[in-house]
Structure 1
Amino acid sequence: MQLKTRIAEAVKTAMRARDRERLATLRLIQSEIKQFEVDERREPDDPAVLAILNRMLKQRRDSIEQYRQGGREDLAQREEAEVAVLREFLPEPLSPAEVAARIDEAIAATGASGIKDMGRVMAELKPQLLGRADLAEVSRHVQTALAQRGGGRPG
């Protein structure tokens, strides 16, 4: 089943169950998808929906950190509840060892020899890891791996 359809079904289920918090988060997801449709003038495919969910997840994580630093545990818990709903629609996350193996495979597949090849390696990895790993973290690991191969310096 397409991801967008799964989200729509989850909205209906939450409405029937009168689960207001879950419904609010699901409607936020639908709103982001609708904004994508308006901006891009096209129907989002699963990778586009995954990118939207990833962006929303990152925003929630940043908010949780800021709320905790500000002593607002109540707001941090609300954001954590939203994170739980978002994760339901993301694929199973990869372990650090699996991510490292994918990075090595991508470096070998692209023939990357240094930092200058980072864009090619990330282009190879992004479709595989979208929604399954933090791409910012993956980028740091790729940069380190390429710096060790090519003698460049990690940023």
Structure 2
Amino acid sequence: MLRERFNEDLKTAMKSRDQAAVSTLRMINSTLKDRDIAARPKGITQVDEAEIIDMLQKMVRQRQESIELYKQGGRQELVDKEQAEIDLIERYLPKKLSDAEQADAIAKAIAETGAASIKDMGKVMAALKAGYAGRMDFSKVGPALKAKLGG
């Protein structure tokens, strides 16, 4: 589904002569093709949606890191370019959970896995990643989970 959306949006961007969108969508397609090729030795011809979402999240993180460096260097035009790419990439990512929704999901995962201590953190994280991949900021989930499990 995402794969088709990329191609359709690329065609639309080309017709409307939106160079920034064309460039970003071509970059997404190129990165996706690289992932597909890397997966071939495992017997996979095309990576799945979860892998595509992971790829998009990495692309956003890379651009956020670049923005920080460009800000330090006083390169506002590059900051703007990177931010435009982030905005376009985020259109394809699932909607992020709010802090309250994230807290509810953590509580539910703890209950479902029967986690009682910090030793069970891996089980809970696995359950959250399976159910909420792309919708949670897992760098914030870890500390919140530790607090709930008494770590």
Identity %: 43
Q: What's 1:35 paired with? A: 34
Pick which of 127-136 and 11-20 moved more: 127-136
Count of matched residue pairs: 147
Equivalent-residue separation in structure 1 for 2:22 and 2:143 (angstroms) = 35
Any stretches of 5+ residues in structure 1 without a counterpart?
none
Secondary structure of the residue that 2:10 maps to in structure 1?
helix
Any stretches of 5+ residues in structure 2 without a counterpart?
none
Find out whether 1:118 has 2:117 as its counterpart: no
Which of 82, 87, 91 lines up with 1:88 in the alignment? 91
Aligned residues: CA RMSD: 1.3
- Residue 105 of structure 1 and its aligned partner are, at CA, apart by 0.6
Contact 1:99-1:133 at 8 Å conserved across structures: yes
Secondary structure of the residue that 2:116 maps to in structure 1?
coil
Equivalent-residue separation in structure 2 for 1:5 and 1:109 (angstroms) = 35
Deviations for 1:10-67, whole angstroms, at most 9, x for unmatched residues?
Answer: 1111111111111111111111111110111121211111111111111111111221
Q: What's 2:56 paired with? A: 53
Pick which of 99-108 and 40-49 moved more: 40-49
- Residue 133 of structure 1 and its aligned partner are, at CA, apart by 2.2
Q: What's 1:132 paired with? A: 135
Q: What's 2:16 paired with? A: 17
- Residue 115 of structure 1 and its aligned partner are, at CA, apart by 1.9
1:131 partner amino acid:
G
Contact 1:129-1:135 at 8 Å conserved across structures: no
- Residue 69 of structure 1 and its aligned partner are, at CA, apart by 2.2
Which of 82, 97, 100 lines up with 1:79 in the alignment? 82
